[in-house]
Chain A
Amino acid sequence: MLRYIVQRLIAMAITFFIIISISFFILRLMPGSFADDPTLPREVVEQLEDKYHLNEPLIIQYGYFLKDAVKLDFGVSLKVEPKRTVGEILASKIPITMQLNLFAMLFMIPIGIILGIIAAIRKNRISDHLISVVVVLFISVPSFVFASGLQYIVAFKWNLLPTVLSKEQVLNWARFKSMILPILALSFSGIATITRYVRSELCEALNSEYMLLAKSKGLTQLQATIRHAMRNSFVPLANIIIPIFTSILFGSLVIEKIFAIPGMGGVLINAINAKDHTLTIGLLCFYSVISLMTVLIVDLSYGIIDPRIRIGGRK
């Protein structure tokens, strides 16, 4: 196992390097420039670009980039938040998104699990179908519909909760009140995914032979379900929850827009649209590391949790 992890870490480093390099070249291929004020004379634009070596051959630009990247210096943002480093930008945006989404996870995981259990136990009966329909509704109706709808009805018509994120900077009650609606809106799709997954795993577990054995040993359905089926089916939950957690870091573009939350949502897309090369690469480095770690952790979780799977083994 240890050898496998080390192998994977080395592979991760190589992969990371390739990702950043390919992305670097693709990004510079995009037409347009960060100095996109159409009234600036060409000559001025060129000097602005020269300052960041944007007019030199790609290889040379790549060289500059590597030289600085080794020192962990990704430069400053060119357009989205000019003159701020990637680190500063991340440090000011991630906490908000993170906080919001952690609350969302605290909400969606228990509910998702409970709904999944109910659906599996009462498989193919009315409650199962009902839960399935509700769950699929959560996924199929676009998130902004829920977000807009909640905001309009709860915050506007009924005036129960604030319309946008409060200005308070500490986590007091006023701020939390303003976070309730976005947390709800964020949870819906997560609840749906978890419910579906738990239901299908638990169904499979309930059908397996060890359940038969447990019942033949004399356990009631309930005891057998709790002691054996559930434990077995929860365990692979990691590979659903961990990806949800990391997708959180990308922020939800639409929900953050609707509730005026200054988080990570859309910051990568804005950076790409603005041709803010330094910020884009910096963000990509960050996201890639997170992505790769996620994949590694999920893979490991397969191995740790399910003894039948021997990761890395030969055929």
Chain B
Amino acid sequence: MKRFKKILALLLAISMVAVVFAGCAKQGAKTPKANQEEKKVEENKEAPKGSRVFRFADSKVATFNPHIYKTVPERESMLLFNGTLLRIVMNEAGDGYEIFPNHAKAFPERSEDGKVWTFKIREGLKFDDGTIINAKTYEESYKLLLDPKLKNPNSTVFYKDMFVVNAKKYWDGEAKWEEVGIKAIDDYTLEITLESAVPETTILDAFIFPTTSPVHVEMYTSLMNEEKTETKYGTDFDKIPKSTGGPYILKEWVRDQYRNFEKNPDSPLASVYKVDRVEIRAIEDNETILQLFEKGELDYVKLLGAKYDKYEEDPRVDFTPATTAMFIILNTESKDNPALQNLDFRKALHYGINRNVIAKDIYRTGKPANYYLPSSYIADFKTGESYRSTPQGKEVEAYTEVFNADKAKEYFDKAYKANGSKKINFEIAYFDTNENVKKISEYMEEAYENLFGADRIDVQLKAIPWQVSYDNVEKGDYQTGFAFWSGSRFEPWGMMEFFISDPGRKYNTYRNPEFDKLYERAKTGDLIYDKEGRINALRDMEKMVMNDLPIIPLVEVNIPIMFSDRVKLHSANGKYFPAGGLYQVLQADIEPLEE
């Protein structure tokens, strides 16, 4: 018996020691196996002295598979080492954008009826292992993107804003590939056939993001499982091509920790991008990022929340407007609170919230918004003019007010009477994981009760797990819901999809056939080539929404950022162009790294 116990104890001890060594061995195994390219990786771990490197911190990437990625950090990293047919770059003067034909020789040609777009592909493009990229590669890649067994979520690019012939059917498994409107006519010509004509911005939007990059077909298919329903492409450093003809080459990827990129001299963008090397560290904690920046280990930092206070007067601070519209959805068909059905009540809510307080005192650097589309949305991609600075955009801004206590009280009196002069129970649903949502909710509770009288309105706060909030709104089981909505900067019309009567998923109660008509005209109808007409449409759509107030817009968020001294931005006035991506930085003049 004693021996048995001794053996047991020994086993325990051995297993613990084994684990220690396994840990060390696994750590060791993580260094890449003997392989020429991998050997180079060892040397490239830290930026060599004198290199023009741009270092920053971002969230970790869950995957590098272009067909399933979801987040912005993933997109930005993938744009570095993936090739795309088209790219947006800063123009020479540094005061606007231009379209750079990356893998395509030029912006695609459009047929008479606008339904067929033809790309001419450059010659000499290749993957990092030398495999050639041509139109056939693109066709195969899109075939994999739409594969009915893989069911890739990003396939919607071909059947949501623009409708490629039979693309959805193929994805459903109801058509053959030959019937789909994507064809490589010859080795260097790619033809896309649509069911109906679309404006240029839609095409632009579809082909500047990694979703439509080429994939290494051989690797992709060799990494599939038996039933061909999943592929391990993009899940690890050794399971992706290090470059699909992109401007940079992926040199290292340690999951959840860091990723490094080096310039690809063979890319068409080699002359445009000046940065030699990009190093991205995966760090979630903002304070840590700030400390690394101050220590000189990072070249870029965002000052979120109250961290801005200390840097209020620092000359290094600049601003980048967010692309996310932030607003509260109101259930205009609410049974729990019939007052919400009354437009006067909603107007009272709209005028009664002091957005200046939210913008300045809660967000510090926000801008009060009494409109839907944030300033970063661009009305004319050729000049980069933001929609909000157009006369039409300004018209909407002047249409209602950012705060008017008296008007609010007037509207509330009317609504109160209509409610039978009974106390109105208003519920604001918030979720705790977004710090600002909670702050704003608490502020609104006090503000409304003080303004309208706590005897006439009772504002209750309700905490819901955020997972549930969009679900509740979809089901109609809510009075209010916070929404953060974003889209592509070059497609503000896409943002208006939120309000049509029947989008793929409906998160509000607004149904207006006139709005739908206007939306159709701007997206696929007679306005698609009419630049001015489309901007007018935006104005009219926004006004319609502000008339009915199914949502209450709150603020625009401007995020304060700082660049390190080494980064000399490529821009006419030295300031950060509202771009929201890495574009401007990659073209910046970066001083070589010292020490």
Interface residues, chain A, with chain B CB atoms under 8 Å away: 1-2, 30-32, 35-45, 47-48, 51, 76, 79-84, 88, 91-96, 98-99, 102, 148, 151-152, 155-156, 159, 163-165, 167-171, 245, 257-260, 262, 273, 275, 297, 300, 304
Interface residues of B in 21-46 (CB under 8 A from A): 22-24, 26-28, 30-31, 45-46
For A79, the chain B residues whose CB sits under 8 A away are: 62
Number of A-B contacts (CB under 8 A): 158
Q: Is B295 in contact with A41, judged by CB distance below 8 angstroms?
A: no
Q: Is B232 in contact with A152, judged by CB distance below 8 angstroms?
A: no
For B63, the chain A residues whose CB sits under 8 A away are: 81-83
Q: Is B156 in contact with A44, judged by CB distance below 8 angstroms?
A: yes
Nearest-Cβ distance from residue B28 to partner chain A, whole angstroms: 6
For B254, give its contact among A35, A42, A262 (CB under 8 Å). Answer: A262
With contacts A94-B26, A99-B23 known, what are 18 further pairs, Cβ within 8 A? Answer: A2-B4, A30-B467, A44-B156, A81-B235, A83-B230, A83-B235, A95-B30, A98-B22, A98-B23, A151-B291, A156-B295, A163-B295, A167-B258, A168-B45, A258-B285, A260-B285, A262-B255, A262-B282
Q: Is B23 in contact with A260, judged by CB distance below 8 angstroms?
A: no
**B219 CB within 8 Å of chain A:** no
Q: Is A164 in contact with B160, judged by CB distance below 8 angstroms?
A: no
Give Cα distance in the complex from A2 to B232, angstroms: 45
For A32, give its contact among B62, B172, B291, B468 (CB under 8 Å). Answer: B468
**B187 CB within 8 Å of chain A:** no
For B20, the chain A residues whose CB sits under 8 A away are: 98-99, 102
Given contacts A47-B172, A79-B62, A83-B231, contact A257 B470 (CB under 8 A): no
Q: Is A51 in contact with B255, judged by CB distance below 8 angstroms?
A: no
For B468, the chain A residues whose CB sits under 8 A away are: 31-32
**CB-nearest residue of chain A relative to B63?**
A82
Q: Is B1 in contact with A82, judged by CB distance below 8 angstroms?
A: no
Nearest-Cβ distance from residue A181 to partner chain B, whole angstroms: 11
**B179 CB within 8 Å of chain A:** no
Give Cα distance in the complex from A245 to B31, angstroms: 27
For A257, the chain B residues whose CB sits under 8 A away are: 284-285
For B232, the chain A residues whose CB sits under 8 A away are: 83-84
Q: Is B288 in contact with A300, judged by CB distance below 8 angstroms?
A: no
**B88 CB within 8 Å of chain A:** no
Q: Is A44 in contact with B153, judged by CB distance below 8 angstroms?
A: yes
11 contacts between A and B (CB under 8 A): A37-B70, A38-B507, A81-B63, A83-B235, A92-B30, A94-B23, A99-B24, A163-B288, A165-B257, A171-B24, A273-B467
**B297 CB within 8 Å of chain A:** yes
For A43, the chain B residues whose CB sits under 8 A away are: 504
Given contacts A44-B504, A155-B291, A260-B284, contact A51 B257 (CB under 8 A): no
For A169, the chain B residues whose CB sits under 8 A away are: 27, 30-31, 254
Q: Is A260 in contact with B282, judged by CB distance below 8 angstroms?
A: yes
Nearest-Cβ distance from residue B33 to partner chain A, whole angstroms: 12
Give Cα distance in the complex from A84 to B160, angstroms: 28
**B12 CB within 8 Å of chain A:** yes
Q: Is A39 in contact with B295, judged by CB distance below 8 angstroms?
A: no
Given contacts A36-B470, A169-B30, contact A41 B505 (CB under 8 A): yes
A76, A80, A245 interface centre (most CB from chain B within 10 Å): A76
Nearest-Cβ distance from residue B72 to partner chain A, whole angstroms: 13
Interface residues of B in 227-274 (CB under 8 A from A): 229-236, 254-258
Q: Is B282 in contact with A82, judged by CB distance below 8 angstroms?
A: no
Nearest-Cβ distance from residue B379 to partner chain A, whole angstroms: 21
Chain B count of residues within 8 A CB distance of the other chain: 66
Given contacts A41-B503, A260-B284, contact A171 B27 (CB under 8 A): yes
Nearest-Cβ distance from residue B568 to partner chain A, whole angstroms: 26
Interface residues of B in 457-501 (CB under 8 A from A): 467-468, 470-471, 485, 487, 497
Nearest-Cβ distance from residue A165 to partner chain B, whole angstroms: 7
Q: Is B254 in contact with A167, judged by CB distance below 8 angstroms?
A: yes
For B256, the chain A residues whose CB sits under 8 A away are: 93, 262
Given contacts A30-B467, A44-B153, A163-B292, contact A98 B19 (CB under 8 A): yes
For B9, the chain A residues whose CB sits under 8 A away are: 304
For A80, the chain B residues whose CB sits under 8 A away are: 62
Nearest-Cβ distance from residue A247 to partner chain B, whole angstroms: 15
For B26, the chain A residues whose CB sits under 8 A away are: 91, 94-95
For A1, the chain B residues whose CB sits under 8 A away are: 1, 4-5
Nearest-Cβ distance from residue A75 to partner chain B, whole angstroms: 9
Nearest-Cβ distance from residue B327 to partner chain A, whole angstroms: 14
Q: Is B288 in contact with A51, judged by CB distance below 8 angstroms?
A: no
**B294 CB within 8 Å of chain A:** yes
**B151 CB within 8 Å of chain A:** yes
Q: Is B62 in contact with A38, judged by CB distance below 8 angstroms?
A: no
**B8 CB within 8 Å of chain A:** yes
Nearest-Cβ distance from residue B15 to partner chain A, whole angstroms: 10
Q: Is A51 in contact with B151, judged by CB distance below 8 angstroms?
A: yes
For B284, the chain A residues whose CB sits under 8 A away are: 257, 260
For B31, the chain A residues whose CB sits under 8 A away are: 169-170
For B151, the chain A residues whose CB sits under 8 A away are: 47-48, 51
Q: Is B28 in contact with A170, judged by CB distance below 8 angstroms?
A: yes
**B216 CB within 8 Å of chain A:** no
Q: Is A167 in contact with B291, judged by CB distance below 8 angstroms?
A: no
For B487, the chain A residues whose CB sits under 8 A away are: 39
Give Cα distance in the complex from A304 to B287, angstroms: 48
Nearest-Cβ distance from residue B162 to partner chain A, whole angstroms: 14
Give Cα distance in the complex from A98 to B19, angstroms: 8
**B68 CB within 8 Å of chain A:** yes
For A262, the chain B residues whose CB sits under 8 A away are: 60, 254-257, 282
Given contacts A167-B254, A258-B285, A262-B255, contact A83 B68 (CB under 8 A): yes
Q: Is A275 in contact with B234, judged by CB distance below 8 angstroms?
A: no
Q: Is A32 in contact with B471, judged by CB distance below 8 angstroms?
A: yes
Give Cα distance in the complex from A92 to B292, angstroms: 26
Q: Is B229 in contact with A51, judged by CB distance below 8 angstroms?
A: yes
Q: Is B505 in contact with A82, judged by CB distance below 8 angstroms?
A: no
A2, A41, A259 interface centre (most CB from chain B within 10 Å): A41
**CB-nearest residue of chain A relative to B472?**
A31
**CB-nearest residue of chain A relative to B464?**
A31
**CB-nearest residue of chain B relative to A260?**
B283
Given contacts A170-B27, A304-B8, contact A84 B153 (CB under 8 A): no
